[in-house]
């Protein structure tokens, strides 16, 4: 019968052996947990971060940042649904003339303007506005029918972790042969 008292006394008396034992036990436990349920371990890892994100003070917004969005008054004036792109072109020119350093446009361009909304003339005016007023950041879309060499393109892809929670936006993604920066950092 082996004598377990001698190794046990050596283990109790040696701090490096205790640290090694605790490290090996923790590694074994986390590897087993990761193998059994990877999403659970991811959720446990991010618990502190998620709690901090929910309870932290709101970030200070720069006074030089202005967001222009559709509202009830503009929908009453221009209608609900898609708008004539000449309206968007006029808005971009007005914002540029007001002194905007960069203009980001979150607008779908994956279809041609219908005839009742200005048609090809509206699209041509919009593209000419993109060339005349820069820098303008558009959302990258492979299916976009309106492409402009003058515009800067950014992605809006959101990555989710194994626990299906989105915590970050990749700073850039690869689409085909092109590397596309995030929409938020495209105009920097």
- 21 vs 15: CA distance, rounded Å: 10
Domain total in the chain = 2
Do 119 and 27 lie in one domain? The reply is no
Give the number of other Cβ atoms within 10 Å of residue 54's Cβ.
Answer: 7
pLDDT at 45: 80
Do 18 and 49 lie in one domain? The reply is yes
pLDDT at 155: 80
Q: Is the previous residue joined to 23 through a cis bond, with omega within 30 degrees of 0? A: no
Do 43 and 98 lie in one domain? The reply is no
* Contact (Cβ atoms closer than 8 angstroms) between residue 155 and residue 127: no
Which domain range does residue 86 map to?
72-185
pLDDT at 146: 73
Give the number of other Cβ atoms within 10 Å of residue 137's Cβ.
Answer: 22
* pLDDT in single tens digits along all 188 residues of the chain: 567 788 888 888 889 989 999 999 999 988 887 788 777 777 878 888 888 888 888 888 888 888 888 889 988 888 888 888 888 889 889 989 988 888 888 887 777 777 887 888 888 888 888 888 878 888 887 777 677 777 778 888 888 887 788 887 888 888 878 788 887 665 55
Do 82 and 162 lie in one domain? The reply is yes
Do 79 and 131 lie in one domain? The reply is yes
- 70: exposed, middle or buried (C-beta count within 10 Å: 0-12, 13-18, 19+)? exposed
Do 51 and 77 lie in one domain? The reply is no
């Amino acid at each position: 019968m082996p004598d377990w008292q001698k190794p046990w006394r050596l283990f109790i008396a040696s701090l490096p052996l205790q640290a090694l034992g605790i490290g090996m036990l923790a590694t074994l436990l986390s590897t087993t947990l990761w193998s059994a349920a990877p999403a659970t371990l991811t959720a446990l890892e991010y618990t502190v971060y998620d709690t901090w994100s929910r309870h932290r003070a709101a970030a200070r917004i720069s006074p030089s940042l202005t967001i222009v969005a559709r509202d009830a008054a503009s929908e009453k004036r221009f209608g609900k649904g898609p708008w004539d792109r000449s309206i968007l072109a006029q808005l971009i020119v007005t914002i540029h003339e007001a002194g905007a350093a960069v203009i980001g446009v979150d607008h779908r361009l994956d279809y041609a303007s219908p005839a009742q909304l200005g048609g090809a003339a509206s699209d041509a005016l919009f593209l000419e506005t993109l060339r005349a007023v820069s820098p303008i950041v558009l959302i990258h879309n492979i299916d976009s029918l309106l492409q402009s060499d003058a515009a800067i393109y950014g992605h809006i892809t959101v990555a989710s972790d194994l626990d299906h929670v989105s915590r970050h936006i990749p700073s850039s993604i690869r689409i085909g042969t092109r590397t596309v920066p995030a929409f938020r950092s495209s105009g920097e």
